[in-house]
Amino acid sequence: MRDVNKTDEVIALLKHLPYILGPGSSFENPQGAPKCVFSDWHGDSEELAQGVCTGETLKVCSEGASISDEVPAHVVGLTTGGRDNPNFLLDTDLGVIYWIECPNEVMSSSSRDMIEDDPYDYARENEAEWRAESGCWAIADFFGMLKDQFQQLTFVPIGPKSVIASDAALGHKGEGLVAMVQEIYREHDWPDMVRYRKTECLAAVQAALEQRYPDWIY
């Protein structure tokens, strides 16, 4: 993992993080936010050892091609994917997580306090720009924010692995899909986790998609 240019602390941390796994490659793992696949560093490190990929490839895919050269060794990406996959960067020195190019809709509706300190006051010059342009939360608040987005159905699961944003542009074939799925969740008592009927709800979502939006079944 040192080929990814990370500190010993980061490498040790990656051994203990929980990972969201599914069958197939890591790019097919269940999404933790719209279009967002979290990293499987266990699997990625095995591919690195086998020569399937390079440290530079993993660094770019987990940090973003435009800023990977400016990300220091104590910062690590929590997501790995293609061009549209969001990049969440954990700074192990500061104890914060940055959402690179975080949508304004997420930041404006965040139920958790964001870190408002100006990176130009504390970060190296080559790091300040990407930090300043990102959404930034303390670690617990970041994951709490993601959880709240699901509870509010701003993030909408439409299948076992797929999540879409409530304001996503789905085109003519997807018109009305988000509102329909949101209503199904609420009919099954979401977000009351005591009363929520998960099995029945997910079956109802699948049936409704098959009937009205077959192009959106994943």
Question: pLDDT tens-digit profile of 84-132?
Answer: 899 999 999 999 999 999 999 899 888 899 999 999 999 999 999 999 9
| pLDDT at position 185 | 98
Two tokens, residue 119: 């990176």
Using CB atoms within 10 Å of the CB of residue 43, give its burial: 0 to 12 exposed, 13 to 18 middle, 19+ buried.
middle
| pLDDT at position 197 | 96
What percent of the chain stands above pLDDT 70? Answer: 97
pLDDT in tens, 126-184: 999 999 999 999 999 999 999 999 999 999 999 888 999 999 999 888 999 999 999 99
**Going by C-beta distance under 8 Å and a sequence separation of 6 or more, which residues neighbour residue 134?**
89, 98, 99, 100, 101, 102
Distances (CA, A) of 50 to 19, 47, 61, 79, 157: 21, 5, 18, 21, 34
> Residue 62 region, left (φ>0) first, then alpha (ψ -120 to 50), else beta?
alpha
Among 82, 117, 115, 118, smallest CA distance to 99 is for 115
Using CB atoms within 10 Å of the CB of residue 16, give its burial: 0 to 12 exposed, 13 to 18 middle, 19+ buried.
exposed
| pLDDT at position 1 | 76
Among 80, 87, 79, 118, smallest CA distance to 103 is for 87
What percent of the chain stands above pLDDT 90? Answer: 72
pLDDT in tens, 27-54: 577 899 999 999 989 888 888 999 999 9
Two tokens, residue 90: 């954990």
